[in-house]
Amino acid sequence: MVATWLMAARWNRAHDAPVRPVRVTMPVDDRPRTADMPLGNGTRLVEVAFGPEERELYDTLAAPGPPDRQAVERLLRATAARTRALKSLDRPQLGFGGGLLTTPLVPVGIRAAGVRALRRMAGPWASTTLLSNIGRVPYPLDFGDAGRARAVWFSAPAKMPRGLSVTTVSTAGRLQLALRWSHARLDDGAGRRLGALFAESLAATSHVPGPAAGEGG
SS3 146: helix
Edge-to-edge strand list for the sheet holding 23-28: 44-49, 23-28, 129-137, 164-171, 174-181
Give the residue-averaged pLDDT of 154-172: 69
> Which domains are present in the chain?
2-30+43-205 (3.30.559)
**Looking at residue 197, what is its pLDDT?**
93
Residue 106 pLDDT greater than 50, yes or no: yes
Instruction: Express each pLDDT in 109-133 by its tens digit.
Output: 665 666 566 555 555 556 788 888 8
| Torsion over CA: 49, 54, 55, 60 (sign) | negative
Give the global pTM: 0.73
Work out the pLDDT band at 48, boundaries 50, 70, 90: confident
Three-state DSSP at 46 gives strand
Higher-confidence residue of 40 and 133: namely 133
Residue 131: name the closest of 5, 21, 33 by CA: 5
- Residue 196: band (very low, low, confident or very high) from pLDDT cuts 50, 70, 90: very high
Cα-based torsion angle of the residue sequence 95, 30, 208, 82 in order, rounded to the nearest 10 degrees = 50
Mean pLDDT on 169-181? 82
Q: What is the predicted pLDDT for the residue at 133?
A: 80
What's the mean pLDDT when you consider all of the chain?
Answer: 75
